[in-house]
Chain A
Amino acid sequence: MKGVDDGMDAGGASGREVRVENRLLTQAVAALTAQGCRVSVAGSVGEALAFVARVAAGKRRAVLSRGEAGEEIGVAGFLAGQGLSVWRCGETPGKTVQACLEADLGVTGAQAVAVETGTIFLAEEGGEARLVSNLPPTHLVVAGAECLAPDLAGALAMVRRLSRDVYGRPLVRYVSAISGPSRTGDIGMQLVPGMHGPREVAVLLLARTCRTG
């Protein structure tokens, strides 16, 4: 959690904005953890990549959807440097599904996070994030703190705004709202993670300071 509280003045933000961000970050960590996610807040690029390294340890193949936050801190290059084979969606259309089926790590961004329920929203036109976040056994979300919304209604409003502003449509083609790892209780009501989707969801939240320092 280092770095969350020392962001005063970062990026020209007012003290109030920073306090709001910090409060949301704290709540997000609690809610995401309660949903069974592995969560980290990074105050710097170095901290962020250190978490990525921990999540990627032992993994061999990563697929990445186009995600603003991940690109900003150079996740793809970093993973390649860690010895993983890295496949970026959009590189060779038509191969995405195969790449996702073979990968053991899927990396996406997030367009909104509903803090109250610990729900990650992926909103997209292409549909790649649906595959990247569902087929590999580990899903890593890299999200900027600016996409935190207090609750589901707030997150939906963000998705609506993005749809209008970026795509000029009332709603983007696909929205996936993810609350924790895939799970099933269908055998004897014993809850087990990782039925069809990932058994591990790791969430990296980038504080404002990541962008400036």
Chain B
Amino acid sequence: MPKSVFDRRIEAALADVAGAAGRQKALSLICPDIQAARQRHPPLSERLRRIKAESMSRLPELLDQAVTALTVNGCRVFLAADAGAARDYIGGVVQGGVLVKSKTNVGKEIGVDGYLAARGVTVVETDLGDRLNQLDHGTASHPLAPAIHLPLSRVRELLARESGRDLPEDVAELVRAARESLRPHLAGADTGLTGANAIAADTGAVVLMENEGNIRAVTSLPAVHIVVAGITKIVPTLEDAVTVVEAASVFGAGQDLGTYMSVITGPAPEGHPGPREVHVVLLDNGRLRALAGGWGEAFYCINCGGCLNFCPVYRVLGGRFGHRYIGGIGVVQTALTETVAASTDAGLWACLSCGRCTDACPAQIDIPELIGRLRAGIVQERPSIGRRLVRGLLGDQARLSRVLRVVRRLTGPLWEERPARRALRPRLGVSRLLPAPRVRPAVPSAGRAHAVVYAGCLTGTCYPEVGAAALRVLSRHGVAAKWPDREPCCGLPLWNAGDREGACALARRNISFLTAFDGPVLTLCATCGDTLKNFYPRWLAGDPWQEQARRLSGRVRDLTAFLADDLTLGGIAGTDSWPVAYHDPCHLRLGLGVTVQPRRLLQACGRMVETADRCCGFGGPAGWRHYPMAAAVGDEKLARVGAKTLATACPGCMAALTDGLDRLGRAVAVRHVVELVDEAGL
């Protein structure tokens, strides 16, 4: 199969060692600051989400109000239907000379730099990082630290050339040189170009935030100031706009507030210094259509960049995940402002649905859900034969097991646990992450059960010993549980692959299947647990089955939480035995909020617990569609594991971790927490 555009970008990203090193450094410094700042501002995110939800639902009206207010203030407002219209307007205003600019995402969206340069305008970036990249002919590697990938020696070289004198490798000196070399550009520029963090409809105020003071210079020195902003930057009031800026500071930079917030309502009055003209270019470019189509949440985004810092895919790919807008939200915005094909090239199928972005986002945007919807749109247009086949296979675990075992018999050597063999598995259309299918051991089934074990397909077909261990532990504590063998798949694999109809059909089947059993539904797979508990009621919103989905949701418990919270397990004295690292499955930590219980269980087993947070790389279809990327995510994770045993509570994670350890040639045993509990005799 020829490599896709995105696969080539993955290759380039994985080869870019300097970029990765810079990014790691930036992330390690920024993440703790952001987390601390969030703690100091608990209500900020709710406030922002409310403001943005209101703004998007009232946008046409707010747009009118903003245009009127800006015009009354003396600004010249241009509503640009698309990128071309915006460029043409700007081209009409800027007839040549020097244009100084600050960071603007919409500027990137409309490709303003190249357009102006081609028309003979000298474009000068003024943010230091962006300026360094401009001098280096490179691109930004992180929204907050765009030039973090450049080593100090290179920065020195670039600035020395620029200022025409020798400079020491001293950061303070280099900053001074940059200030001095940019000043004449700022003082002599004809035009200043900026974006906007927010535009207040009530006052016609453009609000901008920054740390360096370049935006203040760009907006106060040249005779013409051009603002380019998406129409979705409009919020009802000045106070709302300030909330946007606060949220961007806290969630994007870990600051309470950026050093400078500039509020600009119009050109300078007669006899005063400052721009004679302020042009405000408001870009639609698909936004109104997207809002009408129910994509409003995508534009709650305030471009703070916070989500990137926690995204496992961004960690390994950097700015190559996304297009003009970076990261998962960037993929979504690309689809809405350009085309779905462009979003595919930007990494539509790379998202692991781990949910870290939503957790990091001040507007709480459910980015994985938006990405899933885009995938669904694509899948719907494809022929349905393959889809029907897969749906049928996943509808009944006993059937799935039989088929997989036949496949295994026919292709025996492929399933040996050796890297070379694993590498062959994709030839068969299965992921190399998939473990060898195994026959379920005979387990004594309880006569009258008062709990049902929902082990999930992967446990049932590939890790049956985990299910058996769970039954043994439960029965030791007097919980008679049943592990049915014909349960349907939870449906998440279909959902993530874009087959929403198929996923909902499986949801309904599971609901009626599980109604036949009494008591709690104990899940061994974090993904299944999150799906049954949290996703079904959402998937089936407005469906006659929703009420039943809610009832089922109330019965679902993660097995480790059930064992730790509801049973008295006792424990082994002393914790001097060998350590175990615990891997938090994303669906368990972020989806179900279960973090302490598995650790408590491991401690009860007499194990010392290390934590190795990070995604395993298995989520969604990325594992087989973009294996090198998923592998890089896994490698990052495994580099943090020192113990000889790695415990987790999700068979999906187990498969990815096992493959990764295999790939790295490391002898670490991967176990489900419940297996260790069983072995400890608890």
Chain A residues within 8 Å of B, Cβ to Cβ:
93-94, 96-97, 101, 117, 119, 125-128, 130-131, 134-135, 152-153, 156, 160, 170-190, 192, 194-198
Contacts and interface: CB of A to CB of B under 8 A. Distances in A.
A177 B220 contact: no
Interface string B252-267: 0000111111111110
A177 B221 contact: no
Interface in B163-213: 171-172, 174-176, 178-179, 182-183, 186-187, 202-203, 205, 211-213
A114 to B, nearest CB: 8
A183 B253 CA distance: 13
Contact of A174 (B211, B217, B265, B271): B265
A156 B264 CA distance: 14
A192 B213 contact: no
Given A127-B268, A185-B211, 13 more contacts: A93-B271, A117-B257, A126-B273, A128-B272, A131-B221, A171-B205, A173-B265, A174-B264, A179-B256, A185-B145, A186-B128, A189-B145, A196-B182
A131 B26 CA distance: 32
A160 B242 CA distance: 13
B220 A186 contact: no
Contacts of A181: 259
B44 to A, nearest CB: 11
Contacts of B73: 173
Contact of B257 (A174, A175, A176, A177): A177
Contact of A184 (B212, B221, B266): B212
Interface in B215-270: 216-217, 219-221, 238-239, 242, 246, 256-266, 268-269
A188 B171 contact: yes
B146 interface: yes
A-side interface mostly:
loop
A101 B187 contact: yes
A156 B274 CA distance: 23
A156 B242 contact: yes
B174 A187 contact: yes
Contact of A176 (B128, B148, B261): B261
A179 B259 contact: yes
A16 B271 CA distance: 44
Contact of B216 (A117, A176, A185, A189): A176
Contacts of B259: 178-183, 197
B313 interface: no
B65 to A, nearest CB: 12
A102 to B, nearest CB: 11
B36 to A, nearest CB: 14
B155 A183 contact: no
A189 B183 CA distance: 22
A189 B212 CA distance: 13
A156 B238 contact: yes
Contacts of A190: 171
A60 to B, nearest CB: 18
A175 B220 contact: no
A126 B238 CA distance: 20
Nearest to A98: B187
Contact of B213 (A172, A187, A196): A196
A196 B264 contact: no
B202 A173 contact: no
Contacts of A130: 216, 219-220, 262, 274
Given A170-B203, A182-B211, A186-B129, A176 B262 contact: yes
A72 B197 CA distance: 37
Interface residues of B, number: 60
A104 B216 CA distance: 18
A127 B220 contact: yes
Contacts of B221: 97, 131
B212 A195 contact: yes
The 5 A-B pairs with the shortest beta carbon distances in the complex, nearest first, are A197-B213, A196-B213, A186-B129, A175-B263, A127-B274
B257 A127 contact: no
Given A171-B205, A189-B145, A134 B216 contact: yes
Contacts of A153: 239
Given A178-B260, A196-B182, A187 B147 contact: yes
A152 B269 contact: no
Contact of B246 (A152, A172, A175): A152
B567 interface: no
A93 B271 CA distance: 6
A186 B264 contact: no
Contacts of B202: 170
B428 to A, nearest CB: 46
Contacts of B171: 187-188, 190, 192
Contacts of A195: 128, 175, 178-179, 211-214
B682 interface: no
B63 interface: no
B132 interface: yes
B127 interface: yes
A19 B146 CA distance: 47
B29 interface: yes
B289 interface: no
Interface in B116-158: 126-129, 132, 144-148, 152, 155
B644 interface: no
Contacts of A134: 213, 216-217, 220
B218 to A, nearest CB: 9
A175 B262 contact: yes
A182 B217 contact: no
B273 A127 contact: yes
A194 B176 contact: yes
Contacts of B26: 189
Nearest to A180: B259
A209 B187 CA distance: 42
Contact of B263 (A126, A171, A180, A189): A171
Contacts of A172: 265
B58 interface: no
A171 B265 contact: yes
B210 to A, nearest CB: 9
B264 A194 contact: no
A186 B147 contact: yes
Given A97-B221, A179-B257, A197-B212, A125 B269 contact: yes
Contacts of A160: 238
B272 A184 contact: no
Given A101-B183, A171-B265, A177-B260, A187 B175 contact: yes
Nearest to B261: A177
B418 interface: no
B25 interface: yes
A12 to B, nearest CB: 34
A180 B261 CA distance: 12
A96 B273 contact: yes
A173 B128 contact: no
A198 B217 CA distance: 12
A127 B265 CA distance: 11
Nearest to A137: B179
Contact of A196 (B148, B205, B217): B217
Nearest to A177: B261
A101 B221 CA distance: 11
B70 to A, nearest CB: 12
14 contacts: A130-B220, A134-B220, A173-B268, A174-B262, A176-B216, A176-B260, A178-B260, A182-B260, A183-B259, A184-B129, A186-B128, A190-B171, A197-B213, A197-B217
A156 to B, nearest CB: 6
B654 to A, nearest CB: 37
Contacts of B261: 119, 175-177
Given A127-B273, A187-B155, A197 B260 contact: yes
Nearest to B156: A187
A174 B263 contact: yes
A170 B242 CA distance: 16
A122 B213 CA distance: 15
